Amino acid sequence: METRDGFVIEKTVQQISSGKRLDAFLAAYTRMDGLSRSDTRAGIEAGLVTLNGKTETSPTRRLRYGDVVVSRIAPTPKEGLFANPDLSLPIIFEDNDLLILSKPFGVQMHPGGNDRTHTVANWIAATRPEMAMVGGDPIRPGIVHRLDRNTSGVVVLAKTDESCDVMREAFRERKTEKTYLALVVGHVPEEEGKIDYPLAQRTGTLQRQAVKDPQSFDGEMKEALTEYRLKHRYAEYDLLEIFPKTGRTHQIRIHLAAIGHPVLGDSLYGGRRMRREGMPRRQLLHALRIAFHFKDGIRVYEAPLPADFADFISGIDAAENPGYPGEASNRKRED
Q: What is the pLDDT of residues 90-108, one digit of tens each?
A: 999 999 999 999 999 999 9
Domain shared by 44 and 163, yes or no: no
Which of 172, 191, 219 is the last residue in one of the domains? 172
Answer yes or no: are the C-beta atoms of 91 and 101 closer than 8 Å: yes
Residue 104 resides in a domain? yes
Domain shared by 202 and 267, yes or no: yes
Residue 333 resides in a domain? no
CA distance 90 to 103: 7
**The predicted structure's pLDDT at residue 329:** 47
| Residue 37 belongs to domain with CATH number | 3.10.290.10
Domain shared by 134 and 260, yes or no: no
Residue 320 resides in a domain? no
This prediction's pTM? 0.74
For residue 36, the enclosing domain spans 2-71
Domain shared by 20 and 61, yes or no: yes
Residue 84 resides in a domain? no
Domain shared by 185 and 299, yes or no: yes
Answer yes or no: are the C-beta atoms of 289 and 244 closer than 8 Å: no
Answer yes or no: are the C-beta atoms of 116 and 82 closer than 8 Å: yes
**The predicted structure's pLDDT at residue 2:** 45
Gap between the terminal Cα atoms of the chain: 44
CA dihedral for 325, 327, 331, 335, sign (positive or negative): positive
Q: How many CB atoms lie within 10 A of CB 310?
A: 12
Residue 147 resides in a domain? yes
Residue 53 resides in a domain? yes
**The predicted structure's pLDDT at residue 78:** 54
Domain shared by 167 and 186, yes or no: no
**The predicted structure's pLDDT at residue 33:** 63
Q: Which residues of the chain have pLDDT under 70?
A: 1-7, 31-34, 75-79, 203-206, 320-335
| Residue 259 belongs to domain with CATH number | 3.30.2350.10
Domain shared by 165 and 199, yes or no: no
Residue 210 resides in a domain? yes
Name which of 315, 180, 318, 314 is nearest 238 in CA terms.
318
CA distance 191 to 292: 26
**The predicted structure's pLDDT at residue 277:** 80
**The predicted structure's pLDDT at residue 89:** 97
Q: What are phi and psi of 270, to 5 degrees?
A: -95, -15
Question: What total number of domains does the chain contain?
Answer: 3
**The predicted structure's pLDDT at residue 1:** 41
Answer yes or no: are the C-beta atoms of 161 and 134 closer than 8 Å: yes
CA distance 185 to 271: 12
- Backbone torsion region of residue 278, taken as left when φ is above 0, otherwise alpha when ψ lies between -120 and 50, otherwise beta: left
Domain shared by 274 and 189, yes or no: yes
| 8-state DSSP, 103 | E
Q: Which residues are catalytic?
A: 148
